[in-house]
A and B are shown apart, each in its own frame.
Chain A
Amino acid sequence: MISPEFDLVIAVLLGAGFGFVLEQAGFSSTRKLVGLFYGYDFTVLKVFFTAGVTAMTGILVLGHLGALDTSAIYVNPTFLWSALIGGLIMGVGFILGGFCPGTSLCAAAVGRIDAMLFIGGALVGILGFTEFYEQLRPLYMAEAMGNITMASVLGIPAPVFGLLLAIVAIAAFIGTSWIQSNVRSEPFTLNPVHRKYYVLAGLTPILLLLLVWITPSHQQQILNHVEANYTAENPGKHRMVTDHLAYELMNHAHDYNIIHVHDSDALPDTLRSGVPGATYVHYRELLQPHYIPLLRSRYKNLIFVADDPELARKGATMALRIGAEHASWLNVGVSEFRQSIFEVPDPRQLTSKAERDRERFRVMAARTLLEIEDRLKHMAQPIKREPVEPSGGC
């Protein structure tokens, strides 16, 4: 997404924001951290859950509005046994040491000697894992379930799981505040001035997630609109006929982005079956943020082609709707286009001069298109998008 050098600057800045907030929240104090497990201080739980719910809500809302490409969000993969056993070992480490890696770094940065010892221990523990990796690998790799989300495991929409998480978090905040006031023998009340802010803060994520759940997403709205209005909005002005497309390909191929829209989940057999140089995009994914630069390119005009010309027309309508300056669509299916160009008819059937001229043009076009195909042979593979993988681990 970003250049490698700048990447490291971003890494430092995000780390700095992370460290600053952790320290401000009190995570440099080991007794404050462990208070969670003995009921005298639930700061960790409050900070942790608030942060998780805030970021989760943000991701879902931004994705809903079409501002964030949720398919490029890294969902850490699930390996059930190592996640469970690793987590339990970490839990024991938490109680014995009173830190986790992030908080130990945070406490060491403000001079806590115990945190420095914890880091020393953690480095040795990591070394233990890396040295015995060969023996541990069967456990490490067992029960691989892929990059699955909680929502897909439970079979519910993501915002519904988000709502559940937010409600559990708020219930936990109230419950732990009650426990904390009992353990500390303090009254369980909130300052009435603050109370309304707390209520407001609690309701905000719930309302946002409800909206994400019940309203159609930005993409869905555009899809619905195009589906309902594409014939009216794109009455044929931007239609392109076979010979016109062939002519443009022969003479101005570099002025165009050709987009082959399809609506099947199987990847099309690209080479020798499409328009040379076309980018293959699933119709529904056309609105993913990573295709926006392609659709809004200022230097290239768009031509939409498809196996079904109506789909190409919808694609062009959609591109115009989201800000493309010029988008044409091929008025025949791609296979018909190829047939017209590549199949030579019986010369005896070409009666008029116009027909014979057209056929001469098509023979030339076929030759040029084959040359372009040969040049593109190694580039024409569709690119399969993968979520961004971090360079490993936590």
Chain B
Amino acid sequence: MSTPKPYMNPYFAGFLLGCVLLGAFYISGRGLGASGGMRALVVAGVETVAPAHAESAPFYVEQRAANPESPLRGWLFFHMLGLLAGAFLSGVVGNRVDFKLERGPNITVRSRMIFVVLGGLLFGFGSQLGRGCTSGSALSGMASLSFGGIITMLAIFGGAYIMAYFFRKLWL
């Protein structure tokens, strides 16, 4: 396999991403997102595995009331599938598709695996409490000047900066 191609200029990439985001607002009136698609998967999973539970627990009942169809037939899930496809295409173009585990230089594979799952847990939980993640709340919120979106953005990056010192061994 040949060597990966260099990444795009960050400002140009940002400009393109901004255009996609603007297109999303122009066409659909809403921005971009990622964690919503994951939630659709979770809700669909619960509805399949424990249908009785899904009919009584309040979150699933509210979800169903808002989207009577299966969550897997909704905008957010298809959006996520598109994200995967687009990223894969870019990986192919840039020669970057490769099964590997990336980690900081000074931690073991085992600890990287533990911490990445923990990080996912927290991010997944936080994205639901904060009504959206870095894309849906922070980025789309910045574009629409949403107060809540910008607060969430500051909290995400603020939280990460505060903790960065304590977890520097993971990355440096």
Contacts and interface: CB of A to CB of B under 8 A. Distances in A.
Interface of A is mostly: helix
A310 to B, nearest CB: 35
A82 B130 contact: yes
B75 A390 contact: yes
B19 A113 contact: no
Contact of B80 (A105, A118, A150): A105
Given A1-B29, A89-B159, A12 B10 contact: no
B52 interface: no
A167 interface: no
A216 interface: no
B123 A110 contact: no
Given A84-B155, A122-B38, A126-B35, A91 B119 contact: no
Interface residues of B, number: 128
Contacts of B136: 76, 393-394
Interface residues of A, number: 133
Nearest to B91: A110
B96 A31 contact: no
Interface in B98-156: 98-104, 112-113, 115-156
A97 B124 CA distance: 11
A90 B133 contact: yes
A78 B153 CA distance: 12
Contact of B119 (A11, A95, A127, A136): A95
B139 A48 contact: yes
A140 B7 CA distance: 39
Interface string A103-129: 111111111111101111111111111
B51 interface: no
Interface string B64-98: 00110000011110111111111111110010111
A2 B120 contact: no
Contact of B148 (A79, A105, A173): A79
Best-surrounded residue of A112, A148, A387 (most CB of chain B within 10 A): A112
B119 A121 contact: yes
A59 interface: yes
Interface stretch (A22-30, A221-229, A237-245, A278-286): A22-30
Contacts of B115: 96-97
Interface in A228-286: none
B30 A23 contact: no
A150 B22 contact: no
A97 B103 CA distance: 10
Contacts of B76: 11, 390-394
B64 to A, nearest CB: 11
Interface stretch (A50-58, A300-308, A353-361, A371-379): A50-58
Contact of B7 (A26, A59, A126): A26
A47 interface: yes
B32 A95 contact: no
Interface in B39-82: 39, 41-43, 45-46, 57-60, 63, 66-67, 73-76, 78-82
Contacts of A28: 87, 91, 96
A153 interface: yes
A137 B36 contact: no
Given A123-B42, A393-B76, A93 B87 contact: no
A182 interface: no
Given A19-B86, A96-B115, A118-B119, A123 B91 contact: no
Contact of B118 (A23, A96, A145): A96
A110 B7 CA distance: 14
Contacts of B161: 37, 91
A10 B23 CA distance: 10
Contacts of B28: 1-2, 7, 10-11, 14, 388, 390
Contacts of B13: 21, 24-26, 47, 50
B79 A91 contact: no
A23 to B, nearest CB: 4
Nearest to B167: A95
Interface string A72-92: 111111111011111111111
A90 B159 contact: yes
Interface in A1-21: 1-2, 7-8, 10-21
Closest 4 CB pairs between A and B?
A97-B119, A91-B159, A15-B82, A121-B120
Interface of B: 7-8, 10-11, 13-39, 41-43, 45-46, 57-60, 63, 66-67, 73-76, 78-91, 94, 96-104, 112-113, 115-164, 167-168, 170-172
Given A56-B143, A94-B156, A127-B42, 5 more contacts: A14-B79, A96-B167, A390-B28, A392-B63, A393-B33
19 contacts: A12-B79, A24-B8, A37-B160, A52-B142, A58-B25, A59-B143, A75-B144, A76-B141, A83-B151, A86-B126, A88-B156, A91-B163, A92-B163, A93-B119, A97-B122, A100-B135, A105-B87, A121-B120, A387-B29
